[in-house]
Amino acid sequence: MEYITHTWHWSISGFLIGMVMLMITYFGKTFGMSSNLRTMCSMVGANKCASYFDFDWKEQKWNLAIVVGAIAGGFFAYHFLSSADIVNINPKTIANLNNIGIDAPNGKLAPDVIFSLHALSTFKGFAILILGGFLIGFGTPYAGGCTSGHAISGLSNLQLPSLIAVLGFFLGGLVMAHFVIPIIF
């Protein structure tokens, strides 16, 4: 049991992800989490409102199993396999976050100043959630996929647009972390 509850070496996780990608490619499928939102919207009738959702969603129901597995796996790992130290953050990162008013998660997965019901009830917290949701909802189809789709599936298929998208994700993350978040908080 101890082998399962501790962090695995990156080579084991990378190998397992690679094997899954080989299986997905073998069966002629592409991987991405954001495509599941499109599938779910199509399932509930959004295809009557927008042509973007007008496709045969039944061909994508295999991908919904990945979402269910990710949610169930995360729940199972958090509640049954995690130790007391869930998040180990570099002390320099904690000091930098404190300088801009973000507290350390203290064993949680995310800081309360950003991810809590209290933060959501404030205008700033609600505005960040709405703006972030809009940017993700608009940006994902505009970029032709999400971070997991481009970084895992697209790069493993040697697609140049995915390489450009992944570089954009990293650059955008660096800009947000070093310039925008300190202004917001």
Residue 83 confidence (pLDDT): 64
Verify that 75 and 123 share a domain, yes or no: no
Cβ(79)–Cβ(163) below 8 Å: no
Residue 87 confidence (pLDDT): 65
Residue 113 confidence (pLDDT): 80
Verify that 24 and 72 share a domain, yes or no: yes
Residue 15 confidence (pLDDT): 92
Residue 85 confidence (pLDDT): 57
Q: Which residues of the chain have pLDDT under 50?
A: none
Verify that 71 and 22 share a domain, yes or no: yes
Domain span at 10 = 1-82
Tokens standing for 129?
């959630």
Angle at 10 between CA 7 and CA 15, to 5 degrees: 120
Residue 152 confidence (pLDDT): 84
Outline where 6-158 has alpha helix (H): 10-26, 34-43, 61-76, 91-99, 117-121, 123-143, 147-148, 155-156
Residue 154 confidence (pLDDT): 87
